[in-house]
Structure 1
């Protein structure tokens, strides 16, 4: 005999109420939370890695643009842009005001640097036309242009500062010119001036980065440099032109230098100390002065070297830093690169055999 309609309705209603009243137990809820947590834990590193890969790609594109700009500059001027412009000691620097001349480094007017010279080739013609390269960078009339944010000179992975920074003196306080402190636009890319004395054969009458005019840097860029492609005996594909430098370590600028300024380390290390104004523009592959290994050999600083130095290559990409090679290619240099190979890549005429780097 079939159940009546009322019987079926009562059973259905009772079953429906039982299904509604049954919820998750605490154990089931905890299991679900744990599963979600594990999934997030697995996905988050992948998302972060994907974002870093995109930032690294953009950084490489910036360096590529800089490389093409350097080649265009060389095509127009038949030489590379000078590392930075400064009166030589053989000019009438004694006629300058004391605050316009640094007797320690022999830096004087005018201070504009290699990135400023590339502006027309980086779609920054308007900014370029506001610069008078025959006049001192620190003149008041250039305040607005020297503080500009230049996206091509900023790595998206880098941290550690605003788009412009205040120039400091040797004691760490703001340096003043004409009674006012100065700010310079930031850059995360610095030119290669070569190797320290321990690694480079350096000679020449025009002065390198410091006051000793008997020495000259052996990289492609330095004070008043006029390097031509034909001067790069090691070959463009074997020479680093530009490397990364994170603002976490120290401040670098695209605009230039100011006599008497100092670049100060942001990370404490026994060998990490303040350097003269040229440090705002350059990186090198040499050691910090006096830093030697257990056998007394000078220690070379490859990218992201742990003891740190304000003029070493430093990036926030995991495992190393990107560099611009002279042929306008961009390569990733591992922080575990052989130090002598890295040193060889930093000179223009060391004649070192390089099979693979």
Structure 2
């Protein structure tokens, strides 16, 4: 009689070995999958910045100047203003017709009107309450959001300042560069630039808002300005235009003024990339705008749009003097390698 020696099943030991091998393979594969996903997100982020760059270039071709950083109504806690009552607009709003968002720009203008009448909201200033009443403020512009930014959603922080709009809506991940200008007295003395020999901070406190006029060492300033290509004597390939700013601080709190339509939409280069310093000045649920640096959730640095519409990834280890020099449009500095 012939006896069959064929096995009918795995032994328990063999099954455990197979499971262990599969587990090891998955453990080896997951980081590669995550890296591939981040590479795709980073590429999409770069594409967003390139589209923004083209929009800014087309705006300049039309008006022979770049848009100003923000628009605030004269006499509303901001000194001399440069707007005509449409106090919510910022540079992102101005380039909407040049990035295939003309219908949204028309909707904003229609809803805003030209008067300072109040619209239901929580702010105390006319422009603040007007912007809170806009349905356009709830529209997500995906081009303004980095896909790696975990806070890039329709839920935005409610601004705590009494005269500011209390937004609940989509945030933006990209901010205009004001160059090495002060963003508030709370950070100027302790910024990396202030602590570094040979690093210059231009203007008085809050000068990125245009308190000293309509000039700026960088490409943007709050209030009306007429900064154009003619002013970029350092070279368009050596001057920052727009950079990333993540919407959540290191300790998990959302940053103030992060809505894409917010008038204050500029960043300073006096603080190093990813060097956010959180304070409790504005309560336990919001992070102070003054403590914010250019930053991202891409490992090791952030992406920047230059005036020539090129996009570069700058490491967080970049020398603060080099970073500040990249922020000036007419500083005449000699750039170090970056």
Q: TM-score range by the shorter chain?
A: 0.7 to 0.9
Question: SS of the counterpart of 1:220?
Answer: coil
**Alpha-carbon offset, residue 356 of structure 1:** 3.6
In the aligned structure 2, how far is the partner of 1:84 from the partner of 1:34? 58
- Regions of 4+ moved over 3 Å: 103-109, 133-138, 174-177, 181-185, 200-203, 207-217, 306-310
Aligned length: 287
**Alpha-carbon offset, residue 116 of structure 1:** 0.4
Which protein has the larger Cα radius of gyration, Structure 1 or Structure 2?
A: 1
In the aligned structure 2, how far is the partner of 1:154 from the partner of 1:176? 22
**Alpha-carbon offset, residue 29 of structure 1:** 2.0
Uncovered stretches (5+) of structure 1, i.e. residues with no partner: 1-9, 94-100, 258-277, 287-300
Cα 1:165–1:112 change in 2 (3 A) is same
Uncovered stretches (5+) of structure 2, i.e. residues with no partner: 116-126, 183-193, 195-199, 250-254, 279-289
Q: Which residue of 1 aligns with 2:175?
A: 190
Query: Are residue 305 (structure 1) and residue 305 (structure 2) matched?
Result: no
Q: How does 1:139-288 map to 2 (within 5 A)?
A: 139=130, 143-160=134-151, 162-170=153-161, 181-197=166-182, 198=194, 199-202=200-203, 208-210=207-209, 212-213=211-212, 217-223=216-222, 224-249=224-249, 250-251=255-256, 252-257=258-263, 278=264, 281-286=265-270
**Alpha-carbon offset, residue 139 of structure 1:** 1.5
In the aligned structure 1, how far is the partner of 2:276 from the partner of 2:131? 39
Q: In 2, are the aligned partners of 1:105 and 1:209 still within 8 Å (CA)? A: no
When structure 1 is superposed on structure 2, of 228-237 and 315-324 the one drifting more is 228-237
TM-score (norm 1): 0.72
Higher strand share: 1
Aligned-residue Cα RMSD (Å) equals 2.8
Q: How does 1:1-357 map to 2 (within 5 A)?
A: 10-11=1-2, 14-15=3-4, 18-21=5-8, 23-88=9-74, 93=75, 101-102=76-77, 109=85, 110-132=87-109, 134=114, 136=127, 138-139=129-130, 143-160=134-151, 162-170=153-161, 181-197=166-182, 198=194, 199-202=200-203, 208-210=207-209, 212-213=211-212, 217-223=216-222, 224-249=224-249, 250-251=255-256, 252-257=258-263, 278=264, 281-286=265-270, 301-305=271-275, 307=277, 310-354=291-335, 356-357=337-338
